[in-house]
Amino acid sequence: MRKIMALSLLSGSIILAGCNGGGSSNNSDNNAANSAQKDVSIHFAARVNGQPFSCATTYGGLGTQESQASFTDFRVYLHDVKLIDADGNRHAVSLTNDGIWQTDNVALLDFETGDGSCGGTTETNMQIIGSVAEGNYTGLEFSVGVPGDLNHQDQAAAASPLNIAGLFWSWQSGYKHARIDIDLATPYTYTDGEGTEQSTNKWFFHLGSTDCSGDPTTGETVTCANPNRPTITLNSFDTEASQVTLDYGRLMSGTNLSSSTPMPFGCMSGAADPDCAGPLANIGLSDTSQTFFASETL
């Protein structure tokens, strides 16, 4: 009798173990499916009033005075890249550390080719590459600039693309989140810091964090009153059939590019600088919708 009961209990244990084993297998399959990743590439294109960007072209119709200008720089940092599914859920894209254009989930877009009016390098980067959870996505979201935890570091010791001196202000202020510079065909006059009138054909747009306090070289935490890292949401975007355009004409819509008050010429992200009102709003740093970035069919 005891043997029969023991066998019965053993059989029951085997059955339960079999059930539990099957359940664990199903859960593992579900978890594997949920964590499955796919490669993704997101393409970008620079535009000037709808025309393709080129360092060898002089463009007209810029700003309120329809100024003519050629470009000397066009570079933008991006981070916190996400794809959006049909239910509005955000799925983080893990960027590939390629040793050149991407590190620590930060990417640098570089449209200038080092020829024509541009004085940079011939290498360009017009895409972001990484991986994301398997799924169907209908939108894209990202933030402009370098995130706060990387913004106030030793640029010279940082990994590429965060080691570029021309895209860095100082340890306290951090990186230039975006740098887009032009040479105007017709110079204008401006008043320098000493109150003297000068002439220049330069107009700079340097987006970065301002009104920062704290000394990172001594281990202090840096806080900035104006982080200036707009989040851009494109609700209609297909990674297989779309690209993101960055249009300088839209960025400078409503801005007089044939003048600059006060110094420095152009916009260096100063909240009180009249020259910054238009571009900061158009890149997404105001209550109005941004216009600089848009989704375009490939």
Could you tell me the pTM of the whole model? 0.87
Overall average pLDDT of the 82-103 stretch: 98
* Strand pairing report for 242-247 and 37-48: parallel
Beta-carbon contacts of residue 130 (< 8 Å; ≥ 6 apart): 39, 40, 81, 93, 94, 95, 96, 102
Q: Work out the burial of residue 296: count CB atoms within 10 Å of its CB; fewer than 13 is exposed, 13-18 middle, 19 or more buried.
A: middle
DSSP letter at 125?
B
The mean-pLDDT minimum among 32-46, 214-228, 239-253 falls in 32-46
Give pLDDT, residue 266.
Answer: 93
Distance CA 65, CA 203 (A): 14
Instruction: Quick: pLDDT tens for 150-196.
Output: 999 999 999 999 999 999 999 899 999 999 999 999 999 887 778 88
Amino acid sitting at position 279: P
Share of the chain above pLDDT 70, in %: 88
What does pLDDT average to over the chain?
A: 89
Give pLDDT, residue 34.
Answer: 57
